A and B are shown apart, each in its own frame.
Chain A
Amino acid sequence: MPTKFLLFVAATVLCLPNSASAEDISFNRDVRPILSEYCFACHGFDAKQRKADLRLDVAEGAYAERDGDTPLKPGNLMESELWLRVISDNPEEVMPPPATKKKLTAEQKETLRKWIEQGAKYQKHWAFEVPVKPTEPAVKNSAWAKNPVDRFILARLEKANLTPRPEANRSTLIRRVAFALTGLPPTPAEVAEYEADQTPQAYDNMVDRFLKSPRYGEEMARSWLDIARYADTHGMHLDNERSMWAYRDWVIKSFNDNKPFDQFTIEQLAGDLLPNPTKDQLVATGFNRCNVTTSEGGSIEAEFTYRYAVDRTSTMIESWMGLTGGCAVCHDHKFDPISQREFYSLYSFFYSAADPAMDRNATTTDPFYKLFTDETTAALTKAQAEEAEAKRLLEDVVSKVEYQDPSTQQPAPERRAVEEVWLDDLVPMAAKATCTSRNASLWSTAPEVEPPIGRRALKQIGAANYQDKFETPTQPLRIPEAAKVFVWVRLDTQEPPDAIMVELGSAAGARKAIWGDPQRFSATRMDKNWLGELPAAGTWTRLEIPLEKLDIKPGEEIRSLAFSQFGGITWWDGLTVTGDTTPATDLRSSFAAWWKDRTGKDTLGLPADLTPVLKDGPEKNPTADLREKLLRFYLAYIARPANPDVQQRLTAWLTAQTVRAAIEESVPGTFIFKNLDQPREAFVMLRGQYDKPGEKVEPAVPAIFPALQKSAPDARASRLDLAKWLLAPEHPLTARVTVNRVWQQFLGTGLVKTSSDFGSQGEVPSHPELLDWLAVWYRENGWNTKALVKLMVTSATFRQDAHVTPDLLKVDPENRLYARGPRFRLDAEQIRDNVLYVSGLINLQMGGRGIKGYQPPNIWEPVGYADSNTRFYLQDHGADLYRRSIYAFLKRTAPPPFMSNFDAPNREQACARRERSNTPLQALQLMNDTQHFEAARAFGERIVTEGGNTPEERITFAYRVVLSRQPQPEELAIVKQALDSYLIRFNKDPEAAKKVVAVGESKPKSGRPEPELAAYTLLANLVLNLDETVMRN
């Protein structure tokens, strides 16, 4: 295959420049890749797959005599069976066997020959040797090197007879640095500041300014969130929303605070096990909660508990150790020394997770941590106290009520008018509330909406048939005589629903009242419960529910209230019933009537001692004391208020309750990771099947690595021990893997190109000494990430100009030797943020719940499940449309297309390296996406209003803002000509201009003529779509 061919080419060209000469063969550099590719599958680490009981991955296996033959006789070619098999013509003997369809090349054979002749020396795979800081190599052109990084790069270049490119010009440099460190271009003012600084520290100063920007954390966090597989939904089945954004914000803050990588590691893997963990340390454990979860009915819990632990283990192995653990889930790893047993020993660190196998499709799956601040804690404590006091005051005033049961009064009191509010600020007492979102009901207060009555209104948002249902077992809701029922409703202006519905449920079934498109609730306009079209959006409307039409009769007991809407945003408030009652039989006037009614029935919400009293009925003659207590309960919580004092205190108590609930609900939370109190026993799972446990395992690390230090010798190893083990100086991988990823981020390709595979099937490093030097330097410098970043971006290597000559392209097409500066396409987020930034539309607000920007229609809607709470994409409006891309809401089964189009992963699994593809869909997006084109419009307007008065000045302005440089005369000429033709076109066709200018939700502010704005929109669009613009040069 071409890819394999390329891989080999890369290895030979870059790593074996002199392999044909008599130079010493290195096992790790030269031989291991060959053996790994051709031999280890049958003669390697995996005992089960091993053929002829022969191991070639260790010297002991290869040197041992077997039946008179020796696979490898150091120094003796013709007595080495391996060599004889490799050169054999006999299809029965030749290795690799013809059936594998693998064939050694002449060069590879030559390498093996020399290796055997030179003594067939083995080394541990390079990545499992502890890195030792190498001495910086001698170089001829030492003046070029700005720091030790450059000496390693230069030494390699000099060996290949290449010379580095000169330093790029300042405008290129500042744009490169700004994108690298903040994901945004520099402003013209920043360019001017840098260009004006003529001190020798000018470059360092410029770098420092960007390192201090809060944008730095946002840019750095992107790659880590790819590793952590962070997203805003569960991932499977309904793919409902989950609340995890506090973890995302923690990552951003950690980079901005320059949290040392060892702390960063410990807090994410084991923050919960630290002594008295802080809020942030608990939030950090969200790393291990970012995996995909399910709650699909019929799923087998044991299977998912198992799968989550496998995911967490594999993610840890890939993220910190740069190895592919997945192979060892089912069998011993064929290429790397991780046995299946060792994999499951690592897995047992994660197998005792406290989170449930089924996520409940809820936003708040446990363990869920509420993010209280000092203020919210204080406010809640106060509100709780006030609520208790209000309750006490209510019961106090009720204790003084002189009650005479109307059923015993003579003459019986007259029928009288009543008004009852069945739903106001709170769920009816002891009601069972369910919501199709799987979450608690949502409530809005001012200023979001001003409720028509009380303090808050029930809010519904999103999914198809979104319903809040309240079953009311305690409060008797009886339809009075001559009753009328009303409800307040308000529809969102920008996202009105298709239809709304109220259901009143009684023993006779649920009676529905529908407004809007009746089909949404499986009805038609002919049905009598279709009550008309939707009320006007953006205002409160009081709708009447005509009882007669719905066949609801006086005296009927309503047991449930349900509010539904379809596909929009709706608020409900104040379901109110008016009518007449006869006090003697009214359940809320006559204690005796109420008690009789509840006799023999279960009633929720009573104090424990009263529950049986009520159910047993008055005939059972409870003690006078209990009877009195039940009466006082009735008067306080069930009956119509006996006098204005009771009314006033009842209202005060309900208000206090609402205030307390509103505070609780306003406090966001996030998924955190915790262990079960009792650890689960973990087993090797045979063939990776969740229901085939084999041998029992304890938490432990693979034998090839240094030993794990436990907190106490006889203690069970913990995740905290594991995290510390990863960071131990003798751990061969963590520092290497981490510096390699940072290098990849800034230079385009890792020193180890396969940044998630440092195993023997991965690529060997292009600069092994540099990798080790950086790894040790990073650790010795306290895992200081900003220092590491600065070291890289201030190197002469990074600062080279990216110009490529045909000769250089021939020698080093992928720029693995760094004889030129890095140049590659911007990432998805950078492409979007760039245009928002230069257009002036951007909103740099940080943190919080994911935002939903523009996207083409029908991306979320069809994801199968009508009751998913992420079924309907309800685009945000206003300033949220222009937030940075890192805050985009990520739904795993339907990620934002602007992200996936430009190779952002869908975050289902850890991703250490994004592709940089080039597809027509990307071009379509750049040509036609509303966000992109709107930004061009806004930028076009900026060009006209800020860019000077002549077309030339304005074009120059556009170039300076987007590319941080002046246009060349030829460019100016082309763009000017383009602008002229657009002006002619739009002056002739003002309708077309109007359409261009109308793109997006933001509006032009300058009042300039539309044809002019349209022409400059196209000019802006042209500059924003230039290859140079979407590249980091």
Chain B
Amino acid sequence: MFPTDLISRRQALSRTAVGFGSLALASLLANDAQAAPAIVDPLAPKAPHFPARAKRVIFLFMKGGPSHLDTFDPKPLLDRDDGKPLPFAKPRVQFAPTGNLLKSPWKFQQHGESGSWVSELFPHFAKCVDDACFIHSVHGTNPAHGGALLKLHTGSDNFVRPSMGSWVTYGLGTENKDLPAFITICPTLAHGGINNWSSAFLPAVYQGMPLGNASVPSDKAQVRYIANANLPRDVQRLQLDRLRAMNLQHQAQSGPEPALEARINSFELAFRMQTEMPQVENIADESLETQKLYGMDDPITANFGRMCLMARRFAERGVRFIQVTHSDGNVQWDQHGNLKAGHEKNAREVDRPIAGLMQDLKARGLLEDTLVWWGGEFGRTPTVEGGSNGRDHNPEGFTMWLAGGGTKPGYHHGATDDYGYYAAQDKVHIHDLHATILHLLGLNHEKLTYRYAGRDFRLTDVEGNVVHQIMKT
């Protein structure tokens, strides 16, 4: 039964799909419901709990705290009372002391049929507001980057918990066997770093695959170990065919081992990834027009533009959860001082690429079932920090927006108070946001559980209310 001759590539691949091992095992175990789960491919697509509105997520993460007061949440009273004290108490826990009210240095205008307010920081995205669904009343619990980042990504700011992408992959599996199910493009390694895309106690197959990181330009972003600089590809292919032949031969001796079968498959996926990842990353086959749409023609927007374009390419290939991080090696959206120049630089880098992504997804019909999610780990204070040109961290109330994937277009949900300090109306906690996003993906956040250390864990811990109002009816 073992191959005495070399197995051809073709034969080898045919064995991948319904190979000796899997066939033999499947027949062995066909009548055994108890043992069967042990060899189920953990990444095979799984049915959601109920019909999904979104099949995948693109999370545009603005590392730090983009100021809601200077982007999407204008406050007339803040303009009026510039320089005066905040007329109510500041939160008990503040990150740093702040002074009096500081009006936004940018002008706001209404855009689109929805009449959505957008400041002059986002002139391109302003054209897409009728596709976006703004939540102005997001709030979290942690005023420091580390805790807030972990809370946003994992639902917990002090324990090591699986990240949201891992939960989604665990719940839904993946539709592309040649690519990882959860990819995070240029993630920040600070403030929890790998814990923000780790699978924690979920099986490791659900962990995110980092592509580069925040201090690497996106055209240099790579998956670790993706290539062997010292070995030609054809030789490696030969090598893998031999390895497979030898492993199968060994399996014939040692008896059916699910782990061995899985290892053979993981070598194959790795090899396919080596082919597939560079193809997705290589955007040369995109038309110049498309590249331009994402701002690839401008050195200021090219870096983030490439990330957004890669995100679309991953999305159309069925990757389940794609995170794109906008940050340099430090905390990019963190203008404790230098608000004017800092936010202008940040917004300029992302505005065109984001608008391009929205238009492109829409034109390709992908926006229907792709949930785009934009935000940072918190907003900023309406009160000034430092001299006259800075704002502190503010987890008490801030804006995020969603688009596509079954969200209500051109809709605004919730509100902060008159000065934009606290979420005041229809408050949406980070847990609620998580529950809502899972819901859009067809997952019940209370049912998506994993048994660990004696209890069933959830992304939303014991919290979370689905915000049905933001969903398309």
Residues A921 and B224 in contact in the complex (CB < 8 Å), given A804-B254, A805-B255: yes
Closest chain A residue to B7, Cβ basis: A974
- A863 contact from B190, B251, B264, B456, Cβ within 8 A: B190
Residues A918 and B230 in contact in the complex (CB < 8 Å), given A9-B34, A761-B454: no
- B230 contact from A824, A861, A922, A996, Cβ within 8 A: A996
- A1022 contact from B204, B205, B242, B270, Cβ within 8 A: B242
Q: How far is it, in angstroms, between the C-alpha of A927 and the C-alpha of B193 when the chains are bound?
A: 26
Q: How far is it, in angstroms, between the C-alpha of A981 and the C-alpha of B144 when the chains are bound?
A: 59
- Residues of B within 8 Å of A761, CB to CB, are 453-455
Closest chain B residue to A300, Cβ basis: B93
Cross-chain pairs A/B with CB under 8 angstroms, 21 sampled: A298-B96, A324-B453, A335-B454, A759-B454, A760-B454, A762-B454, A804-B257, A810-B29, A823-B257, A856-B224, A859-B224, A903-B204, A915-B203, A916-B259, A918-B259, A921-B224, A925-B224, A971-B246, A981-B238, A1026-B250, A1027-B250
Among B96, B240, B454, max chain A CB count under 10 A is at: B454
| B37 and A971 contacting across the interface, CB-CB below 8 Å | no
| B6 and A862 contacting across the interface, CB-CB below 8 Å | no
CB of B23 closer than 8 Å to a CB of A? no
Q: How far is it, in angstroms, between the C-alpha of A614 and the C-alpha of B25 when the chains are bound?
A: 91
- Residues of B within 8 Å of A3, CB to CB, are 450-451
Given contacts A978-B242, A1022-B246, A1030-B263, 10 further A-B contacts (CB under 8 A): A4-B456, A296-B144, A307-B158, A894-B193, A917-B204, A924-B273, A973-B4, A974-B242, A974-B246, A995-B230
Which 7 A-B residue pairs are closest in the complex by CB-CB distance? A864-B190, A761-B454, A917-B204, A923-B270, A862-B215, A804-B255, A928-B228
Q: How far is it, in angstroms, between the C-alpha of A894 and the C-alpha of B227 when the chains are bound?
A: 21
- A970 contact from B4, B225, B227, B330, Cβ within 8 A: B4
**B residues 226-272 in Cβ contact with A at 8 Å:** 226-232, 235-236, 238-240, 242-243, 245-247, 249-251, 253-260, 262-264, 266-267, 269-271
| B230 and A1 contacting across the interface, CB-CB below 8 Å | no
- Residues of A within 8 Å of B240, CB to CB, are 927
Among A924, A926, A995, max chain B CB count under 10 A is at: A924
CB of B285 closer than 8 Å to a CB of A? no
- A858 contact from B216, B269, B273, B454, Cβ within 8 A: B216
- B190 contact from A2, A862, A974, Cβ within 8 A: A862
| B35 and A813 contacting across the interface, CB-CB below 8 Å | yes
- Residues of A within 8 Å of B205, CB to CB, are 917-919
For residue B275, give the distance in angstroms from its CB to the closest CB of chain A.
12
CB of A426 closer than 8 Å to a CB of B? no
| B230 and A925 contacting across the interface, CB-CB below 8 Å | no
| A927 and B453 contacting across the interface, CB-CB below 8 Å | no
Q: How far is it, in angstroms, between the C-alpha of A379 and the C-alpha of B223 when the chains are bound?
A: 51
- B37 contact from A2, A859, A995, Cβ within 8 A: A2
CB of B180 closer than 8 Å to a CB of A? yes
Contact code string A34-77 (vs B, CB < 8 Å = 1, else 0) = 00000000000000000000000000000000000000000000
For residue A985, give the distance in angstroms from its CB to the closest CB of chain B.
6
| B37 and A6 contacting across the interface, CB-CB below 8 Å | yes
| A757 and B37 contacting across the interface, CB-CB below 8 Å | no
Among B190, B228, B230, B451, max chain A CB count under 10 A is at: B230
CB of B28 closer than 8 Å to a CB of A? yes
Q: Which of the 9-residue segments B103-111, B206-214, B304-312, B412-420 touches chain A?
A: B206-214
Q: How far is it, in angstroms, between the C-alpha of A761 and the C-alpha of B455 when the chains are bound?
A: 7
Closest chain A residue to B222, Cβ basis: A856
Q: How far is it, in angstroms, between the C-alpha of A523 and the C-alpha of B38 when the chains are bound?
A: 60
CB of A929 closer than 8 Å to a CB of B? yes
| B4 and A919 contacting across the interface, CB-CB below 8 Å | no
Q: How far is it, in angstroms, between the C-alpha of A866 and the C-alpha of B253 when the chains are bound?
A: 55
Q: How far is it, in angstroms, between the C-alpha of A720 and the C-alpha of B447 when the chains are bound?
A: 45
CB of B12 closer than 8 Å to a CB of A? no
| A5 and B228 contacting across the interface, CB-CB below 8 Å | no
For residue B142, give the distance in angstroms from its CB to the closest CB of chain A.
12
**B residues 147-191 in Cβ contact with A at 8 Å:** 158, 160, 180, 188-191
**A residues 938-992 in Cβ contact with B at 8 Å:** 970-971, 973-975, 977-978, 981-982, 985, 989, 992
Closest chain B residue to A4, Cβ basis: B451
CB of B449 closer than 8 Å to a CB of A? yes
Residues A1026 and B189 in contact in the complex (CB < 8 Å), given A756-B453, A804-B257, A909-B160: no
Among A326, A866, A1028, max chain B CB count under 10 A is at: A1028
Contact code string A904-934 (vs B, CB < 8 Å = 1, else 0) = 0010110000011111111111111100010
- B454 contact from A754, A921, A973, A974, Cβ within 8 A: A754
For residue B164, give the distance in angstroms from its CB to the closest CB of chain A.
18
Closest chain B residue to A995, Cβ basis: B230
For residue A868, give the distance in angstroms from its CB to the closest CB of chain B.
9
| B37 and A921 contacting across the interface, CB-CB below 8 Å | no
- Residues of B within 8 Å of A974, CB to CB, are 3-4, 6, 242, 245-246, 249
- Residues of A within 8 Å of B32, CB to CB, are 810
| B225 and A921 contacting across the interface, CB-CB below 8 Å | yes
Residues A924 and B223 in contact in the complex (CB < 8 Å), given A858-B215, A862-B329: yes
- B266 contact from A327, A335, A918, Cβ within 8 A: A918
- B236 contact from A908, A927, A977, Cβ within 8 A: A927
| B28 and A806 contacting across the interface, CB-CB below 8 Å | yes
- Residues of B within 8 Å of A5, CB to CB, are 37
Contact code string A1020-1033 (vs B, CB < 8 Å = 1, else 0) = 01100111101001
- Residues of B within 8 Å of A6, CB to CB, are 37-38
| B450 and A298 contacting across the interface, CB-CB below 8 Å | no
- Residues of A within 8 Å of B456, CB to CB, are 1, 4
| B246 and A1026 contacting across the interface, CB-CB below 8 Å | yes
Closest chain B residue to A996, Cβ basis: B230
| B239 and A923 contacting across the interface, CB-CB below 8 Å | no
Q: How far is it, in angstroms, between the C-alpha of A335 and the C-alpha of B456 when the chains are bound?
A: 13
Q: How far is it, in angstroms, between the C-alpha of A975 and the C-alpha of B245 when the chains are bound?
A: 10
- Residues of B within 8 Å of A926, CB to CB, are 267
CB of A403 closer than 8 Å to a CB of B? no
CB of B331 closer than 8 Å to a CB of A? yes
Q: How far is it, in angstroms, between the C-alpha of A298 and the C-alpha of B144 when the chains are bound?
A: 9
Q: How far is it, in angstroms, between the C-alpha of A893 and the C-alpha of B146 when the chains are bound?
A: 12
CB of A236 closer than 8 Å to a CB of B? yes
- B146 contact from A237, A825, A894, Cβ within 8 A: A237
Residues A757 and B256 in contact in the complex (CB < 8 Å), given A862-B216, A894-B194, A915-B204: no
- Residues of B within 8 Å of A924, CB to CB, are 223-226, 270, 273-274
CB of B95 closer than 8 Å to a CB of A? yes
- Residues of B within 8 Å of A909, CB to CB, are 160
| A862 and B454 contacting across the interface, CB-CB below 8 Å | no
| A809 and B236 contacting across the interface, CB-CB below 8 Å | no
Among A9, A920, A981, A1018, max chain B CB count under 10 A is at: A920
- Residues of A within 8 Å of B28, CB to CB, are 806, 809-810
- Residues of A within 8 Å of B243, CB to CB, are 1022, 1025-1026
CB of B2 closer than 8 Å to a CB of A? yes
- Residues of A within 8 Å of B2, CB to CB, are 970
**A residues 716-771 in Cβ contact with B at 8 Å:** 754, 756-757, 759-762
| A861 and B215 contacting across the interface, CB-CB below 8 Å | yes
| B267 and A923 contacting across the interface, CB-CB below 8 Å | yes
- A894 contact from B6, B189, B274, Cβ within 8 A: B189
Contact code string A584-626 (vs B, CB < 8 Å = 1, else 0) = 0000000000000000000000000000000000000000000
CB of A802 closer than 8 Å to a CB of B? yes
| B266 and A970 contacting across the interface, CB-CB below 8 Å | no
**B residues 327-364 in Cβ contact with A at 8 Å:** 329-331
- Residues of A within 8 Å of B255, CB to CB, are 803-806, 809
CB of A998 closer than 8 Å to a CB of B? yes
- Residues of A within 8 Å of B264, CB to CB, are 1027
- B269 contact from A236, A920, A985, Cβ within 8 A: A920
- Residues of B within 8 Å of A982, CB to CB, are 235, 238
| B256 and A806 contacting across the interface, CB-CB below 8 Å | yes
- Residues of B within 8 Å of A915, CB to CB, are 203-204
Q: How far is it, in angstroms, between the C-alpha of A146 and the C-alpha of B360 when the chains are bound?
A: 70
Residues A1018 and B239 in contact in the complex (CB < 8 Å), given A804-B257, A920-B269, A920-B273: yes
